[in-house]
Structure 1
Amino acid sequence: MNIHMQELIAKGKTRSFHTSLDVAPLLKHRPDVLRSTPLAAALEARGEEGGVLVEGQLSVELELACSRCLTPATEKLEIPFREFFRSASDDKEQDEEEDEVIVVEGDSFDLLPYVEQAFLLYLPFAPLCGEDCNGLCPQCGANLNEGECGCSRERLDPRMAALKDFFKQS
């Protein structure tokens, strides 16, 4: 997904990218991601004054382990993509509003690292199978979504354990 900036800026051209990318190598250090489909990228690059604007949508379907009960849950991610690229050779002074501009060296650059970065930043931090997930029992490990396990839920602060029988009648 190489973009030649001067070609797009000078001629006012638009270039479309419709591709799918294998994201398995990016997810090898994420044990909570059980399976993923290829990342579908539908992007459009167009030359504008001073740079190239790339907009579009990334989509992928992931099977993730729930962070509370470890049950597999499927989630479809629709990731908006919008980045503005400017050549480092331009002598423009950066305005305060240009914090969102990506400065690239040379006339052409590869869009792939920016797409991968957008995908990784959009991954859920703590995926859930549902908002009402009860998780696992901390004592026996039973899935509490399937029913109660019979374990005691009383939590006692270990620092106060010596005082728990202090007021009991003999």
Structure 2
Amino acid sequence: MEVQFLDLLVKDGRKKAIDFSLDFEPIKFEGEVIRAIKPVKVEGQLVSRNEILELEATIETELELNCSRCLDTFIYPIDIDIEERFTNNKELQDEEGIIFVEGDTLDLSLIVENSIISTLPIKRLCAEDCKGLCSNCGANLNVDKCSCNNYDVDIRLAKLKELFGE
């Protein structure tokens, strides 16, 4: 969705309701393909104040992510509130917290996509107690039990292990 600055900056305090759905195209992020399994719903409003457009909106969707430990896919719900300030006035571009937009058009789709990406957790887990994969055989320990001998040995003490014949 694109918004024209001139439409809102004509009068101070002018408001425009925002209500649209966006098809989130699969994107590659940190080596993983992220897909939305339902359209991104955006609701909110734009308000003009002193040559600045203030956006307040709620973003809702569900993403399909891969677990960092077991590599299974899982559904990650997104329900975030965003507040952003934009201007196309070069005199205001250096003010803190204001995003400068070249030209007269503001593309809200890009703002929504960036907001979704910025809220993704660094470590994406299907569950807090995810057991991950066996380091020897690769079995998903959430589903299967493997018969691998998985006790950890500190590399610095490996020679002692050999001494005792284990």
TM over 0.5: yes
1:61 correspondence with 2:62:
yes
Q: 1:149 to 1:25 in 2, by over 3 A?
A: closer
Question: What SS class does the counterpart of residue 116 from structure 2 fall into?
Answer: helix
In the TM superposition, what is the alpha-carbon distance from 1:126 to its structure 2 partner?
2.4
Deviates more, 1:51-60 or 1:65-74: 65-74
1:82 corresponding residue in structure 2: 83
Alpha-carbon RMSD across the aligned residues, in angstroms, is 2.7
Is 1:132 paired with 2:111? Answer: no
Q: Could you give the per-residue CA deviations for residues 1-51 of structure 1, whole angstroms, max 9, x where no partner exists?
A: 222223323323211222222222434875354652221111311111231
Alignment pair present for 1:9 and 2:6: no
- Partner SS state of residue 7, structure 1: helix
> 1:35 and 1:138, CA in 2 relative to 1: closer, same or farther beyond 3 A?
farther
Whichever residue aligns with residue 5 of structure 1, its letter is F
- TM-score of the aligned structures, taking structure 2 as reference length: 0.81
Equivalent residues of 1:5, 1:51 under 8 A apart: no
Task: Quickly say closer, same or farther: Cα 1:25–1:151, change in 2 above 3 A.
Answer: closer
**Separation in 2 of the partners of 1:86 and 1:60?**
28
Structure 1 length normalisation: TM-score?
0.79
Q: Which moved more, 1:19-28 or 1:111-120?
A: 19-28
Taking a change above 3 Å as real, the CA distance of residues 25 and 63 of structure 1, as seen in their structure-2 partners, is closer
2:120 is the alignment partner of 1:123: yes
Distance 1:43 1:139, change over 3 A: same
* Distance of 2:97 and 2:26 partners within structure 1: 28
Higher mean Cα deviation, 62-71 or 23-32? 23-32
Stretches of structure 2 that go unaligned for 5 or more consecutive residues are none
Q: How far apart are the structure 2 equivalents of 1:110 and 1:93?
A: 17
Structure 1 contact 83–101 (Cα < 8 Å) conserved:
yes
Find the aligned partners of 1:87 and 1:34 in 2 and give their Cα distance: 32
Higher-Rg member (1/2): 1
1:35–1:64 contact (8 Å) kept in structure 2: no
* Residue equivalent to 1:111: 108
Q: Is contact 2:25-2:35 (8 Å) kept?
A: no
Q: CA deviation at 1:59?
A: 1.2
% identical aligned pairs: 34
1:34–1:65 contact (8 Å) kept in structure 2: no
Q: Deviations over 1:104-161 (max 9, x none)?
A: 2333332222222112222233221111111111111122223532211222244543
The 3-state SS of whatever aligns with 2:96 is: helix
